Amino acid sequence: MSVLTNQIAVVTGAGRGIGRAIALRFAAEGADVVCVSRTAENSEKAANEVRALGRKAWAHAVDVSNAAAVDAAGEKILAETHRVDILVNNAGVTRDNLLMRMSEEDWDTVLDTNLKGAFLFTRAFTRGFVKQRSGRIINVASVIGLMGNAGQCNYAASKAALIGFTKSVARELASRSITANALAPGFIETDMTAGLDEQWRAEVMKSIPLKLFGQAEDIAQAALYLAGPGGRYVTGQVLAVDGGMVMA
């Protein structure tokens, strides 16, 4: 039997990259998946890929930083699925610049999407998790939230705060058998990194002990571990999937 049989997962940022890989990995392991993306085109595309694997899928176009939109989507999702077992908060953006050149808009956009979005979606499903006395919450943070990075103070702040949020949620909900953990990907081959120049990539590679960039599937496998039976006794943790960049 597949490890997520009869489970229903909500994955934000499911339209591409890490979110898409997680949605497809969960579907391959028996889960039905709610695919959330900013655009209807991307969310429906991901949902169709899940359906092609023989699983049920629902597509929702949602601005994760908009509280009213998230609340409405949460209600509709629960009406469609009747329960949610796994929530993956993956939606994220970057607006890189040096601190002295960073606009307030770029700061707010990153914090609202990466941090507030996770708060809003977690809040939308927490009551259901508590009522059923089960649930897995997986927040996709970043090694940048652990180590910082020049030109990314907004992104680093959002991901560091997401880790603190995860630990607090874990403590708050543990008595109801609900787990909350964070993944901290390192440099992963996605659309976000595809346009980086070779000199930059060579410099980054020097900081990775395994001497290779990760793949979205590496993060999906880590998410599967936290969502599946193996993650039953794991909560409040940050799992760095980074080729050894950050060693505590």
- Using alpha carbons, list the distances in angstroms from residue 127 to 50, 122, 124, 244: 27, 9, 7, 37
- Using alpha carbons, list the distances in angstroms from residue 55 to 36, 182, 217, 224: 16, 26, 19, 16
Q: Can you give the CATH number for the domain in which 115 is found?
A: 3.40.50.720
For residue 201, what pLDDT is reported? 84
Please report whether residue 109 resides in a domain: yes
> Whole domain around residue 172: which residue ranges?
8-241
Measured CA to CA, the distance from residue 244 to residue 248 in angstroms comes to 10
Condensed to tens digits (0 to 9), the pLDDT of residues 49-65 reads 999 999 999 999 999 99
Please report whether residue 2 resides in a domain: no
Question: Can you spell out the DSSP letters for 12-46?
Answer: ETTTSHHHHHHHHHHHHTT-EEEEEESSHHHHHHH
Residues 175/231, Cβ–Cβ less than 8 Å: no
* pTM above threshold 0.85: yes
For residue 195, what pLDDT is reported? 67
Burial of 140 (0-12, 13-18, 19+ CB in 10 A): buried
Beta bridge partners of 202: none
Please report whether residue 196 resides in a domain: yes
Confirm whether 225 is a catalytic residue: no
Q: Is 5 helix (H, G, I), strand (E, B) or coil?
A: coil
> Which residue in the list 155, 166, 173, 223 is annotated as catalytic?
155
User: What are the residue ranges in the chain where pLDDT is below 50?
Assistant: none
Residues 183/223, Cβ–Cβ less than 8 Å: yes
Burial of 200 (0-12, 13-18, 19+ CB in 10 A): exposed
Strand order in the sheet with 178-185: 57-61, 32-37, 8-12, 86-89, 135-140, 178-185, 238-241
Please report whether residue 188 resides in a domain: yes
For residue 13, what pLDDT is reported? 98
Please report whether residue 178 resides in a domain: yes
Q: How many domains does the chain have?
A: 1
Please report whether residue 186 resides in a domain: yes
Condensed to tens digits (0 to 9), the pLDDT of residues 176-216 reads 999 999 999 999 997 766 667 788 888 889 999 999 999 99
For residue 193, what pLDDT is reported? 67
Please report whether residue 36 resides in a domain: yes
Residues 70/94, Cβ–Cβ less than 8 Å: no
Please report whether residue 1 resides in a domain: no
C-alpha dihedral (27, 32, 36, 41), degrees to nearest 10: 70
